[in-house]
Amino acid sequence: MCFQQKMIHSLFLINCSGDIFLEKHWKSVVSQSVCDYFFEAQEKAIDVENVPPVISTPHHYLISIYRDKIFFVSVIQTEVPPLFVIEFLHRVADTFQDYFGECSETAIKDNVVIVYELLEEMLDNGFPLATESNILKELIKPPTILRSVVNSITGSSNVGDTLPTGQLSNIPWRRAGVKYTNNEAYFDVIEEIDAIIDKSGSTVFAEIQGVIDSCIKLSGMPDLSLSFMNPRLLDDVSFHPCIRFKRWESERVLSFIPPDGNFRLISYRVSSQNLVAIPVYVKHLISFKENSSSGRFDVTIGPKQNMGKTVEGVVMTVHMPKAVLNMNLTATQGSYTFDPVTKVLAWDVGKITPQKLPNLKGIVNLQSGAPKPEENPSLNIQFKIQQLAISGLKVNRLDMYGEKYKPFKGVKYITKAGKFQVRT
């Protein structure tokens, strides 16, 4: 009988053309051929996004994620929590992103030794060891152009030779001895609106996915508390481990010793319909005539309640039906492209000015002889509104304890479209 193997046995990185470009085995070597089951599923799924995340094979399970055009395929052998594996794989991808600036095949191949060292450091016998970027960076220094030049001259290495201090403290996310000349703390309140709008323009579903991303460069061991004008908005929140949960429960204040650098402080969800304002409306007329191999397309986008802020960065993408051959459209603003292979129409609108609403109008040509498409395409809208958190969330104040200096503080708000779809 096979020995018990907890967690991830092996990891394969596979690019979109199906090449395995990196493999790492934490125990015995598993043959690449196990990936054939993955390729089979990939073929069946047609679209890369549709490959199921858990695949069973006669002797193993393959749990995969798809990130930045790379499949991270892990091989496991016994019962493990799949979320555990998926979370870990995302953490691996995050770490690559953090170390190399991008999580791409080239970046990984260029830094293969560091990648190997990282993977070894992150997982031991299936137990995640160090996944906090702060700790990893003390163990294995990220590559920089300067360092590799210095290393090659002095012969020193990119491996830290002392034990990271944070690893065992009660605040594993922060390293000791942080020093900055300029002490700064920035918070970005980013809200994304997920919505489904039906044909008639009424909202089927809408919610806000918000996050507060922080960039904290403070010396020493600062202890921060962040309070809100309207903390009651936040009733469904996920916290970074640094946040003291008790304090939040009793006082609705975020109290924490922050990690050093960039991190996500909280993420939250506002689902109560009346709090979710929809900042744009779309007027649309898409129709195909019976037996005429052509159709009409007419879409106008306008601003709704935008609280005096400009809606910008507006982009509309539409997956047109397969029968569409090409489109002859005129845009009053911005430019559009239609890809006859993928049938994707993309209209880059830019900023919306209420005086002159952007409109895209014209003729859709169908393949001759093709039947009239049954389904009308959904419109996918992207937009951005600066200096506004659409839920109304507002930071009240930030206080710092434990250190003497006066930090520079800043809060920025931005609202974006998440999965924002208009059915036609």
Partner 1 sequence: MTDSKYFTTTKKGEIFELKAELNSDKKEKKKEAVKKVIASMTVGKDVSALFPDVVNCMQTDNLELKKLVYLYLMNYAKSQPDMAIMAVNTFVKDCEDPNPLIRALAVRTMGCIRVDKITEYLCEPLRKCLKDEDPYVRKTAAVCVAKLHDINAQLVEDQGFLDTLKDLISDSNPMVVANAVAALSEIAESHPSSNLLDLNPQSINKLLTALNECTEWGQIFILDCLANYMPKDDREAQSICERVTPRLSHANSAVVLSAVKVLMKFMEMLSKDLDYYGTLLKKLAPPLVTLLSAEPELQYVALRNINLIVQKRPEILKHEMKVFFVKYNDPIYVKLEKLDIMIRLASQANIAQVLAELKEYATEVDVDFVRKAVRAIGRCAIKVEQSAERCVSTLLDLIQTKVNYVVQEAIVVIKDIFRKYPNKYESVIATLCENLDSLDEPEARAAMIWIVGEYAERIDNADELLESFLEGFHDESTQVQLQLLTAIVKLFLKKPTETQELVQQVLSLATQDSDNPDLRDRGYIYWRLLSTDPVAAKEVVLAEKPLISEETDLIEPTLLDELICYIGTLASVYHKPPSAFVEGSRGVVHKSLPPRTGSSESAESPDAAPSAGQAAEQPAVIPAQGDLLGDLLNLDLGPPVSGPPLAASSVQMGAVDLLGGGLDSLMGDESEGLRSDVGGSPAMGGSGFTAPGPAAPAAMGAPLGSGLGDLFDLTGGVGTLSGSYVAPKTVWLPAMKAKGLEISGTFSRQVGSICMDLVLTNKALQVMSDFAIQFNRNSFGLAPAAPLQVHAPLAPNQSVEISLPLNTVGSVMKMDPLNNLQVAVKNNIDVFYFSTLYPLHILFVEDGKMERQMFLATWKDIPNENEAQFQIKDCSLNADAVSSKLQGSNIFTIAKRNVEGQDMLYQSLKLTNGIWVLAELRIQPSNPSFTLSLKCRAPEVSQYVYQAYDAILKN
Shortest CB 274 distance to partner 1, Å: 14
How far apart CA 363 and CA 379 sit, in angstroms, is: 17
Shortest CB 92 distance to partner 1, Å: 13
Shortest CB 150 distance to partner 1, Å: 11
Q: What is the DSSP secondary structure assignment for residue 260, as one 8-state letter?
A: S
Q: Which two tokens stand for residue 321?
A: 């039906």
How far apart CA 109 and CA 103 sit, in angstroms, is: 10
How far apart CA 149 and CA 155 sit, in angstroms, is: 10
Q: Which two tokens stand for residue 51?
A: 């490959």
Residue 229 buriedness (CB in 10 A; 0-12 / 13-18 / 19+): exposed
Shortest CB 345 distance to partner 1, Å: 14
Shortest CB 238 distance to partner 1, Å: 5
In order, the DSSP letters of 270-307 are E--GGG----EEEEEEEEE-TTSSEEEEEEEEEE-S-T
Neighbouring CB atoms inside 10 A of 292's CB total: 9
Task: Output 245 or 405, the one with its CB closest to partner 1.
Answer: 245
Task: Output 247 or 394, the one with its CB closest to partner 1.
Answer: 247
**Helices (runs of H) and strands (runs of E) counted in the chain:** 7, 23
Task: Output 234 or 352, the one with its CB closest to partner 1.
Answer: 234
Q: Which residues of 123-153 are buried (b: 16+ CB within 10 A; e: fewer)?
A: beebeeebbbbbbbbbbbbbbeeeeeeeeee
Shortest CB 181 distance to partner 1, Å: 30
Task: Output 167 or 262, the one with its CB closest to partner 1.
Answer: 167
Task: Output 128 or 231, the one with its CB closest to partner 1.
Answer: 128
Task: Output 125 or 387, the one with its CB closest to partner 1.
Answer: 125
How far apart CA 182 and CA 410 sit, in angstroms, is: 13
Shortest CB 16 distance to partner 1, Å: 16
How far apart CA 389 and CA 276 sit, in angstroms, is: 11
How far apart CA 97 and CA 53 sit, in angstroms, is: 21
Task: Output 304 or 322, the one with its CB closest to partner 1.
Answer: 322
Shortest CB 182 distance to partner 1, Å: 28
Task: Output 50 or 328, the one with its CB closest to partner 1.
Answer: 50
